[in-house]
Structure 1
């Protein structure tokens, strides 16, 4: 804990010729009152440096090196500080994968994210769900290098009759004996209890590493048992490190239980995370949530974004009460490391913190070699030039990876045995991105940065359980990509320019045609505007017309499954699985697992004939390389000259 008297603070400020203003709690604290500032990070996911390894370029929006650059100033604003991490710290980007898959962890090795954290004087940390992605033994070797304790109160090798009887893998909590400097400059002892929790869903997400060897408790149930124990051991205040988000509607073993954790008597402050959101902020609402004040059930709480995007702060005004301390008042806030400007550009608000950069320099250089090297091979080119008019290899590989992942993860669950379909869309398909905005990975090596080209967004995989009728409507919504085509008319414009390509979901695992002579059943916002229109025809599963009442699992992403794009069957209520992994990471793992991929576009969808009609669509000029391949799949296509802004035009006979 950092302690700074007012006299020392003013002296250091004068020496630096710049004044750092004290927080009001420190400025007005009197004798027997002390300001304690809790600095928090969460969901770092191994982002030590301000670098996007997928895009292979520096960025201003992430990195502990940036977050750390404001830590000293923020510490100087408070008389006493404590620093904690809320989990998901060593997995989540290519540096994490390099350490696990290439470097490994021998006894005595220091993981780069731990080396970075050790430069900052953390007081405690807890586990997140991603700490288990490489196995428990790897996790233990990583944690062995930390200069701070790591706690977890609901992860055990076995469960006893009560939480207090559980054989926990780590200590459930730590009680730190510290000295507080009060407003009069007097130092007095305090016992700060810190307890940690993780989502119980790790048993599903990392079943291959945990099944039969480990178990979990519900977050609230564990806290209810352990917090009184901490009080009995003399903890003056208790901080809960909850690698769990904020949601309403309590259920035992719920994933995002921080709101109800705040109800546990004896907890004074909550550090939340896991959802990759910011709190206080506009992302959460409901009974017990004060998003403006940053409280849960009246207690201060903070969620500091993800990847080091923010530093979270909880400021406590403590009052000496006899021989102990209690919280008199509190504030929650976050400090960002960058800002988005009106022109959509990003500006850095901070620079790099040299000790973090230095501590991770070797790992950074090795990661760059790793990210630029191949993770596998492709025996077919992966391109998106024709992704909006024909089944496409760049979309196919995403669907193949999603189907592979979800099929495996649902084994042993109530959903095992249901058909698994996959919904994926082309992200780089020209449009406003321009005539060069296409995926084009040639036959040969596939590097991690190529995977980023296949899947642009840091979505996480989700799966929904829907009916055959909902599958049909999902596809009807996707078919809004196209204008209505009139029979007998030549050279009609095919694509609806107001429809984004990321909303053109192709569903793999079924076969179907799109009848463009029909109007779109849905408008661009997902509202039904032509209730009698049905563009999706000949929809089949396993060679037979789809049963509208049959149930299917559809692998997708968090944006779509949670209601993004307003797709039927995907409004958040049908989600049966939320993966702890990004879709991009799943593609990487799929390629590594297979060695060589051959995502042959299987022609599971196409256009129904429209008599006498031809359509024009524009694509990148480099598409000419692959026209013969598209023709070989039965698409009647020919070059139709140059389009505007560098695009090439092609004519398709329907």
Structure 2
């Protein structure tokens, strides 16, 4: 430190320096003042570099294996992510690992555990067993944790060696179902090699929509609150107890004005004072980087921030490891974040249409679930019947499709039997709404249903119908049927009939599971019209009508006529915000899963041939339009009859491009 500004000193006869008391006091004051001015800088010698790691949306993908195709898959699996975790820890002095939810459902191994093996006190779920060996510090719950009921969830979480928190989920009596927050007291090493202690506060959140999506399991037992409201309740007190506050937010990133109750509330959450880092998930996307969130005010895709708060979304099924590196400086008032870096590190890359693994699976993680893996393989390989022709979803977004047709046929068969026993429903026509699930998109060019002709096994049915939804039926009017289809038609971009350049048909931001096809009626979709609904289900173009020539029994549909629509609990309970499906119109709440109903349908029929009946098509466009869409490179041999589509080359990301002739 430079003391040149201090008062000059007198010297005695021997040349020794002497100072008066006044000079001593003045000099001391100057030194103290200088020290106060640079005090925080002095304290910066105690700098801690802390690495926070995230997994999210693992969905019981422990091994790099695709149970639907019954073959290894280098794009998924916690065993692969574990290699990234190991490497990421080795790169730094201090690291701590979190999980952001959706653990126990999402692959056939999850269904095997829930429906065949079951869980009881003392059991350890294979997903949890794999995580226990990786030293997780804390986790939260995702919306799919509730698909199998609270009892199954309780047994699953009981086996975890790490705590799980959630601040916006309460019991019916308003007491927390899980601990809302947690403070982790962690010893860390600063840059000088000295030991320091950090108090890391953790808070978790789940989409409040679980009360709609799994109401059969949850109504009367638990209740949810808005994510931001819960944060405002708990964060101020948690902030007093910790040096650093991390939010595990199983919720995605969306812009727009906050209205409360948002499913994807991470951006709004970032405005709550006191949160230092946000781990996001639920949307199965990657952040930072990419185009998914570009242009949203408050979102910095390059830096990886939400309103300036570091944030990460680590893909899905173990595809990425989320990393937030923090520089923490110890000041006279406590620790402060002096700098940060965010990253979503992948387990694979794609080169020349090929998947190239970046890491090998960790043997210890794979060994922890070997017994359950073998049992799952035996479970999914069991044949249940025969299919006469291939069932695939290569063209499910542009033409009536057998993978959707078989679901509708099974739902109609099942609901028809139940409705026949209910006098209140006697005489009402039954329709069926079903959507394709595996249609490429963020899942990549291999993410399609592809069941070969011949024996059909449980794994094939699970490939057709991914989710453990239960069957429900709603009673709606003809007008609501029309609006239901208008909502579904948001799948497509608006096509300019006068444009001569190439126009992409599919809106990739629209979830394919919201593209409901309704069987039992016929209709056309006019894609030259703007979408009547936005992706959230709000009417944005009230004068637009994409659904034309809607008919029932060959006649224009009567807006006042009543119909029964077979669907699933997600849709009937309000999932996707479809007109006529808000949880209040349910007339049949069945106990069986849609997947089990398909299996039982095939078992009874013994042999099926779900040929698409072409009950919907695009309205013809007069003009020189060049409409294109993407599909699997394997799609060429499965081109449906009557679909005027031609191959237009392959893209570097592995998808095949097709041109679609909509002139007739």
User: Taking structure 2 as the reference length, what is the TM-score of the superposition?
Assistant: 0.65
Residue 23 of structure 1 is matched in structure 2 by: none
Distance in 2, matches of 1:395 and 1:107, equals 39
Residue 244 of structure 2 is matched in structure 1 by: 237
Shift of 1:384: 5.2
Residue 194 of structure 1 is matched in structure 2 by: 202
Residue 310 of structure 1 is matched in structure 2 by: 320
The one of 371, 393, 398 equivalent to 1:362 is: 371
CA contact (8 A) 1:469 1:548 kept: no
Residue 49 of structure 2 is matched in structure 1 by: 35
CA contact (8 A) 1:190 1:324 kept: no
Distance in 2, matches of 1:138 and 1:289, equals 37
Residue 122 of structure 1 is matched in structure 2 by: 136
CA 1:220–1:311 in structure 2 vs 1: closer, same or farther (change >3 Å)? same
Distance in 1, matches of 2:205 and 2:435, equals 34
Distance in 2, matches of 1:255 and 1:78, equals 35
CA 1:134–1:506 in structure 2 vs 1: closer, same or farther (change >3 Å)? closer
The one of 292, 296, 302 equivalent to 1:283 is: 292
CA contact (8 A) 1:381 1:393 kept: no
The one of 343, 348, 354 equivalent to 1:345 is: 354
CA contact (8 A) 1:60 1:338 kept: yes
Distance in 2, matches of 1:134 and 1:216, equals 18
CA 1:143–1:601 in structure 2 vs 1: closer, same or farther (change >3 Å)? same
CA 1:305–1:138 in structure 2 vs 1: closer, same or farther (change >3 Å)? same
Shift of 1:62: 0.5
CA 1:507–1:64 in structure 2 vs 1: closer, same or farther (change >3 Å)? closer
CA contact (8 A) 1:468 1:550 kept: no
Q: After superposition, give the CA deviation of every residue in 1:513-567 in whole Å (9 maximum; x if it has no partner).
A: 89xxxxx9769x99xxxxxxx999974225641247999999999xxxxxxxxxx
2:195 is aligned with 1:184 = no
Residue 293 of structure 1 is matched in structure 2 by: 303
The one of 168, 171, 174 equivalent to 1:154 is: 168
CA 1:622–1:289 in structure 2 vs 1: closer, same or farther (change >3 Å)? closer
Residue 143 of structure 1 is matched in structure 2 by: 157
Shift of 1:330: 1.4
Q: After superposition, give the CA deviation of every residue in 1:555-589 in whole Å (9 maximum; x if it has no partner).
A: 999xxxxxxxxxxxxxx99789799xxxxx97524
CA 1:421–1:293 in structure 2 vs 1: closer, same or farther (change >3 Å)? same
Distance in 2, matches of 1:100 and 1:200, equals 23
Give unmatched runs, 5+ long, in structure 2: 1-42, 419-427, 440-444, 493-503, 532-544, 569-575, 584-591, 618-634, 643-664
Distance in 2, matches of 1:66 and 1:606, equals 42
CA 1:337–1:396 in structure 2 vs 1: closer, same or farther (change >3 Å)? same
Residue 87 of structure 2 is matched in structure 1 by: 73
Distance in 2, matches of 1:298 and 1:272, equals 15
Distance in 1, matches of 2:58 and 2:577, equals 29
CA 1:201–1:321 in structure 2 vs 1: closer, same or farther (change >3 Å)? same
1:287 alignment partner, SS class: coil
Distance in 2, matches of 1:107 and 1:142, equals 9
Residue 648 of structure 2 is matched in structure 1 by: none
2:455 is aligned with 1:448 = no
CA contact (8 A) 2:203 2:247 kept: yes
Distance in 2, matches of 1:278 and 1:362, equals 32
2:136 alignment partner, SS class: coil
Quick check: 52-61 or 98-107, which moved more?
A: 98-107
Distance in 2, matches of 1:181 and 1:535, equals 62
The one of 223, 228, 233 equivalent to 2:231 is: 223
Distance in 2, matches of 1:508 and 1:469, equals 12
Shift of 1:422: 2.6
CA contact (8 A) 1:510 1:539 kept: no
CA contact (8 A) 1:385 1:620 kept: no
Residue 556 of structure 2 is matched in structure 1 by: 545
Q: After superposition, give the CA deviation of every residue in 1:216-246 in whole Å (9 maximum; x if it has no partner).
A: 01100001000112123x2111100000000
1:363 alignment partner, SS class: helix
Shift of 1:511: 3.8
Alignment of 1:74-93 (within 5 A): 74-93=88-107
CA 1:147–1:522 in structure 2 vs 1: closer, same or farther (change >3 Å)? closer
Residue 639 of structure 1 is matched in structure 2 by: none
Q: After superposition, give the CA deviation of every residue in 1:188-223 in whole Å (9 maximum; x if it has no partner).
A: 111100110000000011111001111001100001
1:167 alignment partner, SS class: coil
CA 1:225–1:543 in structure 2 vs 1: closer, same or farther (change >3 Å)? same
CA contact (8 A) 2:235 2:275 kept: yes
The one of 346, 360, 371 equivalent to 1:336 is: 346
CA 1:320–1:393 in structure 2 vs 1: closer, same or farther (change >3 Å)? closer
Residue 371 of structure 1 is matched in structure 2 by: 380
CA contact (8 A) 2:461 2:599 kept: no
CA 1:72–1:553 in structure 2 vs 1: closer, same or farther (change >3 Å)? farther
CA contact (8 A) 2:484 2:580 kept: no
Distance in 2, matches of 1:112 and 1:314, equals 28
Q: What's the RMSD between the two structures over aligned residues? A: 5.0
Distance in 2, matches of 1:351 and 1:602, equals 42
Shift of 1:594: 5.8
Residue 519 of structure 2 is matched in structure 1 by: 509
Alignment of 1:631-642 (within 5 A): none
CA 1:540–1:451 in structure 2 vs 1: closer, same or farther (change >3 Å)? same
Q: After superposition, give the CA deviation of every residue in 1:160-198 in whole Å (9 maximum; x if it has no partner).
A: xxxxxx301110011011112111111111110011000
Distance in 1, matches of 2:270 and 2:637, equals 58
1:123 alignment partner, SS class: strand
CA contact (8 A) 1:129 1:202 kept: yes
Residue 495 of structure 2 is matched in structure 1 by: none
CA 1:499–1:202 in structure 2 vs 1: closer, same or farther (change >3 Å)? closer
CA 1:62–1:406 in structure 2 vs 1: closer, same or farther (change >3 Å)? farther
Residue 172 of structure 1 is matched in structure 2 by: 180
Residue 7 of structure 1 is matched in structure 2 by: none
CA 1:300–1:589 in structure 2 vs 1: closer, same or farther (change >3 Å)? farther
Distance in 2, matches of 1:447 and 1:361, equals 20
Quick check: 235-244 or 355-364, which moved more?
A: 355-364
Q: After superposition, give the CA deviation of every residue in 1:579-604 in whole Å (9 maximum; x if it has no partner).
A: 9xxxxx97524335768455777968
CA 1:146–1:536 in structure 2 vs 1: closer, same or farther (change >3 Å)? closer
CA 1:347–1:224 in structure 2 vs 1: closer, same or farther (change >3 Å)? same
